[in-house]
Amino acid sequence: MKTQDNMPTTTKNLPGLAKLSMSDFQSHRDNFFAKMTDNSVAFFPAATETTRSNDTEFAFCQNKNFYYLTGFNEPNALLILLKQSDSEQAILFSLPKDRKHEIWHGRRVGQAHACQEYGFDQCFTLVEQDDLIAQYLHGLSQVYFAFDDEQLSQQIFGYLAQVRANVRQGAKVPTQLNDASPIINELRLIKSANEIELMRQVNFISGLAHQRAMQKTQAGLFEYQIENEILHEFTRYGARYAAYATIVAGGDNANILHYTNNGEQLQNSDLLLIDAGGELSGYAADITRTFPINGKFTEPQKSLYQLVLDTKSTVIAAIKPGITFAKLNHIAHQCLTQGLVELGILTGDLTELVKDKACKKYFIHGLGHWLGLDVHDVGDYHSNEAKAQLREFLPSMVLTIEPGLYMPLDDKNIAKKWRGIGIRIEDNIVVTEHGCENLTANCPETIAEIEALMAVGRHERSEARQNIAEAGEYTSVCSDTSHSCDVSIDLQK
């Protein structure tokens, strides 16, 4: 563990491998080509910009399937994968170079550079799209696209109608439509070594952000001020955006699972739950920590925290290829139930309570989820179409483990000392050949680690206050003299 002013050392050369290379995206395309039949075409549209208000837009977020296959980060583009018996072609349609537009809104890659820098076989402007696609479709037998994308579906039916209109002139229309989503979801679920390295980095950065938040937290601050410390640290190391809306939830707010209001003042004896992860080159981290606002756990907070932490550790220790979320859930339920019985929160026969999933009253969400380009990443959780069984883990899957316990302030059925406590601890895990790797290793989690780090934060604040006081004296001495004092004092040092 280290204080904030030290540069990170463990993930060596941050920001290091901050993006995937052209060959990574090419191999993603190759993997999709391998799933296509001969004489077929697949469509993957880029995202469009979303209006925030009037003429301003939200920060652009690329469509993740499109990004996975291209690395191309402009809106409105379209990728086509064309597979014929003797060739595989990746074709991009994108916005044209436009000097005037670029001066106002930013540079565009343009068609010539897109071919060179992204490895596409052919690149065209959007103006050429409609005519060319109708030509490509003629004579093909199958089409792949995401069925849940309504706009794209409409567009493709339009193209097919365009080809069909020329049947009398000899045009041949594809007859089989395939949903591209399950195919690309499966590909995205298994990460490459370079994807895992990116996720290692974004986890490391996010761990630093949680460390900073712990050090900066004190009663009287507002939740959004701690959110700001988190975002500061993300950006500082190249994770320009949060992967999802940061949750900074003091006290009873932690019992609202997706609390993002972040507008309340931190109270001295409460816990603070922070669920925050950065996004680095499109890849997400998703980390939760819970710690005492004044730096010292109370006894009830300690008991519940240690139980959640022990549960998380026991579950993670069991992760290896072949295990399922069902088995991990059983382990989590056993740990939590036993702990809740020992604390007197649940009463009854342990075996019966586990069987009845009694702990779900306080552990109200799932144990974890896939993680990748999306924070709740794509990929089937089941092993068969009937959805009867949860699938076995494979090496290079990445997932979260996030047990929690939630005791709402207004729940009169719980003893008073537990009320208003909400705890979640969440790590990001890669399944390896024989076990797993915890990507969230640099983020403090034990009671001793957290209390020690927060004590460093308190010490730094009191030193800073002392320095400010001394600087104040110095300034006042200066201002007593008759000539002007030209000394600048950095109060932050």
Compose the 275-294 pattern: x for residues touching Mn ion by CB under 5 A, - for all others: -----------x--------
Name the one range near Mn ion by CB under 5 A: 178-186, 340-348, 379-387, 397-405: 397-405
Helix (H) or strand (E) holding 462: helix 447-480
- 227, 233, 279, 286: the catalytic one is 286
- 101, 258, 459, 461: the catalytic one is 258
Closer of 149 and 275 to Mn ion (Cβ): 275
Binding residue (CB under 5 A) for Mn ion from 301, 400, 428, 442: 400
| Coil/strand/helix, residue 444 | coil
Rounded Cα distance between 395 and 213, Å, is 33
| Coil/strand/helix, residue 411 | coil
Shortest separation between residue 402's beta carbon and Mn ion, angstroms: 5
- 233, 402, 427, 445: the catalytic one is 402
Rounded Cα distance between 254 and 272, Å, is 7
- 28, 188, 212, 424: the catalytic one is 424
Closer of 399 and 450 to Mn ion (Cβ): 399
Shortest separation between residue 371's beta carbon and Mn ion, angstroms: 7
Q: Are strands 142-145 and 176-179 parallel, antiparallel or unpaired?
A: parallel
Q: Are strands 427-431 and 398-401 parallel, antiparallel or unpaired?
A: antiparallel
How many residues line the site for Mn ion (CB under 5 A)?
A: 2
Q: Which of 255, 206, 266 is nearest to 232 (CA)?
A: 206
55 has catalytic annotation: yes
426 has catalytic annotation: yes
Helix (H) or strand (E) holding 109: none
Closer of 286 and 445 to Mn ion (Cβ): 286
Assess 427 for contact with Mn ion (CB under 5 A).
no
275 has catalytic annotation: yes
Closer of 229 and 286 to Mn ion (Cβ): 286
Residue 217 near residue 293 (C-beta atoms within 8 A): yes
Of all residues in the shown chain, the one whose CB is closest to Mn ion is 286
283 has catalytic annotation: no
State the angle between helix axes of 447-480 and 193-216 in degrees (0 to 180), rounded to the nearest 10.
60
- 275, 374, 377, 445: the catalytic one is 275
Shortest separation between residue 446's beta carbon and Mn ion, angstroms: 21
138 has catalytic annotation: no
Closer of 222 and 381 to Mn ion (Cβ): 381
Question: Which runs of consecutive H residues, i.e. helices, occur in 345-446?
Answer: 350-355
Shortest separation between residue 425's beta carbon and Mn ion, angstroms: 11
- 108, 138, 330, 365: the catalytic one is 365
Q: CB-based contacts of 358: which residues, under 8 Å, 6+ apart? A: 337, 340, 346, 348
Closer of 129 and 206 to Mn ion (Cβ): 206
Shortest separation between residue 40's beta carbon and Mn ion, angstroms: 36
Q: Which of 132, 15, 8 is nearest to 78 (CA)?
A: 132
258 has catalytic annotation: yes
Q: CB-based contacts of 169: which residues, under 8 Å, 6+ apart? A: none
Helix (H) or strand (E) holding 345: none
Q: Which of 59, 52, 128, 118 is nearest to 90 (CA)?
A: 118
Closer of 42 and 196 to Mn ion (Cβ): 196
Shortest separation between residue 424's beta carbon and Mn ion, angstroms: 9
- 28, 29, 333, 369: the catalytic one is 369
Closer of 158 and 366 to Mn ion (Cβ): 366
406 has catalytic annotation: yes
Shortest separation between residue 426's beta carbon and Mn ion, angstroms: 5
- 333, 406, 427, 445: the catalytic one is 406
Measured from the Cβ of residue 80, the count of other Cβ atoms closer than 10 Å reads 20
Closer of 81 and 239 to Mn ion (Cβ): 239
Measured from the Cβ of residue 261, the count of other Cβ atoms closer than 10 Å reads 12
Angle at 77 between CA 71 and CA 78, to 5 degrees: 90
434 has catalytic annotation: no
Shortest separation between residue 121's beta carbon and Mn ion, angstroms: 38
Instruction: Give rounded-to-5 percent helix, strand, coil for the chain.
Output: 40, 20, 40
In the region spanning residues 150 to 169, those forming contacts with Mn ion, defined by CB under 5 A, are: none
Q: CB-based contacts of 483: which residues, under 8 Å, 6+ apart? A: none
Rounded Cα distance between 107 and 340, Å, is 57
Residue 15: asked if its preceding bond is cis (omega within 30°), the reply is: yes
Shortest separation between residue 288's beta carbon and Mn ion, angstroms: 7
- 376, 382, 459, 461: the catalytic one is 376
List own/partner pairs for 337-340 with CB under 8 A and 24 or more apart. 339/307, 339/310, 339/311, 340/307, 340/405
Write the single-letter amino acid at 438.
Answer: N
In the region spanning residues 112 to 141, those forming contacts with Mn ion, defined by CB under 5 A, are: none
Neighbour-count burial of 429, counting CB atoms closer than 10 A to its CB (0-12 exposed, 13-18 middle, 19+ buried): buried
Active-site positions? 55, 258, 275, 286, 365, 369, 376, 402, 406, 424, 426
Catalog residues that contact Mn ion under the rule CB under 5 A: 286, 400
